[in-house]
Amino acid sequence: MFENHLPTAELQALDAAHHMHPFTDGDGLAKKGARIITKAKGVWVTDSEGAEILDGMAGLWCVNVGYGREELVEAAARQMRQLPFYNTFFQTSHIPAIQLAKRLAELAPGDLNHVFFNGSGSDSNDTNIRMVRRYWQALEKPEKNVIISRWNGYHGSTMGAASLGGMKGMHAQGGLPIPGVVHIDQPDWWSEGGDLTPEAFGLARARQLEEKILEIGAENVAAFIGEPVQGAGGVIVPPATYWPEIQRICRQYDILLIADEVITGFGRTGNWFGCQTFGITPDIMTVAKGLTSGYIPMGASIVSDRVAAVINGSDEFAHGYTYSGHPVAAAVALENLRLLDEDGIVARVAAETAPYLKAKWEGLAAHPLVGEAKIVGMMGSIALTPNKETRAKFASKSGTVGYICRERCFANNLVMRHVGDRMIISPPLVITPAEIDILIARALKSLDETLVRIN
């Protein structure tokens, strides 16, 4: 459709002049110009110069079924013809929202049987803040309203979600966090584990939750929120001891557990949801991204019987978005879930693709620049280091080497992101073994070139 587009330089100039980008250094954009993506198929994206790039990040961790699935296009078109919009406020509903809520209740573990639809991951987490506070208020415990989360967690970019997140740079720019959100440390053994074994460190970091609850008073704490695997924080895979201890603490002190599955949902960790991979049972699960494979925006809070009974059984919950349960998004999500299931995409990840990727990814640890190589399902990270034994950091400012490596990946037509000096991947779940081989070969080449550049 865009084959006869303007020359790349002209598009870049227009982009820099008029388009304000999320999480982008505006000055860099003006000097270097954006890479302009024009089309995509499977795991491959094409830029305005015709380069074919292997998308190791599934867009922004979201294109789980891969690009170019006509079934999703057809689902959207059919629904647009039938009913392009109707709201779900004021006792109205429509068939796509009803069907999708039912399907999500079937897929979600435990008694997560109730769905509040949102437009994105960020506003799903804002819904969660409002819902857990409303829950305790309805139970006549309005003072039970503090939410505990983790430093270096990411829960989105709205005022509420960015407050839940523990990104200090975001807090510094927006007068955040909002009142009633406090943070504990993350379970990042590589960077912060010191002399502890990963298992002992995992327990120690989980017990910070208990310490924080005791400090604030359990009667004042509404909920704990965490990503089963921190994504934007650098694909931090917690030690195996971490999540069971968090679950124990939440149960003991009657604190609601919110699993933010915006990245880890819909097959990413090798199960339908990350909480299944880590053996936890949340009270609320946040989903977005892979819910529609990113073809159209949608998020949801999937809620337990216990929480839903209180919210539905009290005065009206004064909350909602125009696009809550948008029929076109719901129709696309339903078709996307059908593909993940009936096309065997999630099953294939567990049986074949994730084990293959794991073996190759962990092999990167033999490279002189790579310390730990961690992977769960289809999300992985490598820590770059000048000394594997001491887990040392580079003398340069954090992120300098990671940035160089990311630029080498780009030059080698591989999208791999950096978070500080960690390199991360989260490819479409449909990536084939042959494509994984290409991903690994390009990653190794980029690591070699990075090593040359920093020495």
231 binds ligand PLP (CB under 6 A): yes
Q: Residue 392 and residue 447: Cα distance in Å, rounded?
A: 17
Residues in 63-122 that interact with ligand PLP by CB under 6 A? 120-122
- Which residue number is nearest to ligand PLP in terms of Cβ? 121
Least distance to ligand PLP from the beta carbon of 125, Å? Answer: 6
Looking at the Cβ atoms of 22 and 313, the one nearer to ligand PLP is 22
Q: Residue 363 and residue 160: Cα distance in Å, rounded?
A: 40
Least distance to ligand PLP from the beta carbon of 122, Å? Answer: 3
Residues in 261-290 that interact with ligand PLP by CB under 6 A? 262-263, 288
333 binds ligand PLP (CB under 6 A): no
Looking at the Cβ atoms of 61 and 394, the one nearer to ligand PLP is 61
Looking at the Cβ atoms of 125 and 127, the one nearer to ligand PLP is 125
Looking at the Cβ atoms of 88 and 124, the one nearer to ligand PLP is 124
227 binds ligand PLP (CB under 6 A): yes
Looking at the Cβ atoms of 12 and 426, the one nearer to ligand PLP is 426
154 binds ligand PLP (CB under 6 A): yes
Place of tokens 């679950």: 247
260 binds ligand PLP (CB under 6 A): yes
Looking at the Cβ atoms of 274 and 371, the one nearer to ligand PLP is 274
Number of residues that bind ligand PLP (CB under 6 A): 14
Binding mask 288-307 for ligand PLP (x = CB under 6 A): x-------------------
126 binds ligand PLP (CB under 6 A): no
Place of tokens 């080698």: 412
In one letter, which amino acid is 222? A
Q: Which of 73, 79, 123 is nearest to 327 (CA)?
A: 79
155 binds ligand PLP (CB under 6 A): yes
**Residue 24 structure tokens:** 């982008």
Looking at the Cβ atoms of 263 and 308, the one nearer to ligand PLP is 263
232 binds ligand PLP (CB under 6 A): yes
CA 55 from centre of chain: 16
Least distance to ligand PLP from the beta carbon of 299, Å? Answer: 6
57 binds ligand PLP (CB under 6 A): no
Looking at the Cβ atoms of 202 and 299, the one nearer to ligand PLP is 299
* Cβ-based neighbours of 222, under 8 Å, separated by 6 or more: 132, 133, 135, 136, 144, 145, 146, 147, 255, 256
**Residue 16 structure tokens:** 């820099």
Least distance to ligand PLP from the beta carbon of 256, Å? Answer: 17
Looking at the Cβ atoms of 128 and 450, the one nearer to ligand PLP is 128
Looking at the Cβ atoms of 270 and 290, the one nearer to ligand PLP is 290
Least distance to ligand PLP from the beta carbon of 63, Å? Answer: 13
Least distance to ligand PLP from the beta carbon of 444, Å? Answer: 27
**Residue 115 structure tokens:** 């769905």
Choose, by CB under 6 A, the member of 96, 156, 160, 274 that binds ligand PLP.
156
Least distance to ligand PLP from the beta carbon of 161, Å? Answer: 6
177 binds ligand PLP (CB under 6 A): no
377 binds ligand PLP (CB under 6 A): no
Looking at the Cβ atoms of 210 and 260, the one nearer to ligand PLP is 260
Least distance to ligand PLP from the beta carbon of 303, Å? Answer: 17
Applying CB under 6 A, which residues contact ligand PLP?
120-122, 125, 154-156, 227, 231-232, 260, 262-263, 288
